[in-house]
Structure 1
Amino acid sequence: MDNIAGLASTIGNRFATNLRGSFTNMTLEQGIRLVIIAGAYMLLRPYLVKLGMRAQMQSHEEEEARAEAEHKAKISANELRGKVSIPDDTDDEDEATAEASGPDWGKKARRRQRDMIKKLLEAEEQRLRENQEELEDKDIEEFLVKE
């Protein structure tokens, strides 16, 4: 224990002596250089910190975008097929349902969402009908005699 106390005392004495000696033996040129370096550090440090924060933010945003893209890529269109359901036309605000899974939408928002889903489903059905008609036309053309 005595050895550790002596070591700490020696380190403290050497530090104080060397620090005092550094400032007493300093020339005017060395003093000006020290002031310039310390002043430049104090002036530039906030800008360097902001630059570092900006670079870190960009890397976080890139990482988040990459993770989001991976998450979206995991769900394919085939997995979503047949899972779309049209909400009922119940616009009664008095009915309280215990299984509310989404946000509490207003009456107009629910109606707009329901109409949008219906339009999307009708457009998909129309596209499928047109494809079916094209296939039927091709089948009929096979049987027509071309002269």
Structure 2
Amino acid sequence: MDVLWNILGVVRERFHNNVAAAVMNTPIEKWIKLVIIAGAYMLLRPYIIKLGGRAQMRSHEEEAAESEAAYQKAQISPNQLRGQVDIPEDSDDETEEGALASGADWGKKARRRQRDMIKKLLDAEERRLQETLEEEEDKDIEEFLIPS
């Protein structure tokens, strides 16, 4: 244990001597340069922090505007969606009298499968939109809940 205290004493003595020698042997020009750099840092730091805060606030506002725009774009009611997609009628006729056939002349089963597929896609999209709307409502409600 005595050896440990001797080592610590030597380290303390060498540290003290080295620091004192470095301070005493430093020319005045370097001290002036150090004081100018430290003073400039202390004077300019608050302004630099304010400038960074403004840039960060601007960035957050842009992100919020983009997410709000995406949210507004994503809000489509099922009635609006129904108006956008044309579902073929449940008729088994190839074409009506006087009307031209559009695209390939499909058979009866193919047309029925196509109608069913479009209806399933519309129902899935309506369910997804309803779930996202419910999640948004849940998030709005969570804001007002008091944690216990």
Identify the structure with bigger relative contact order (alpha carbons < 8 Å, sequence gap 6+).
Answer: 2
Give the TM-score category using the shorter length: 0.3 to 0.5
Give the TM-score normalised by the residue count of structure 2.
Answer: 0.42
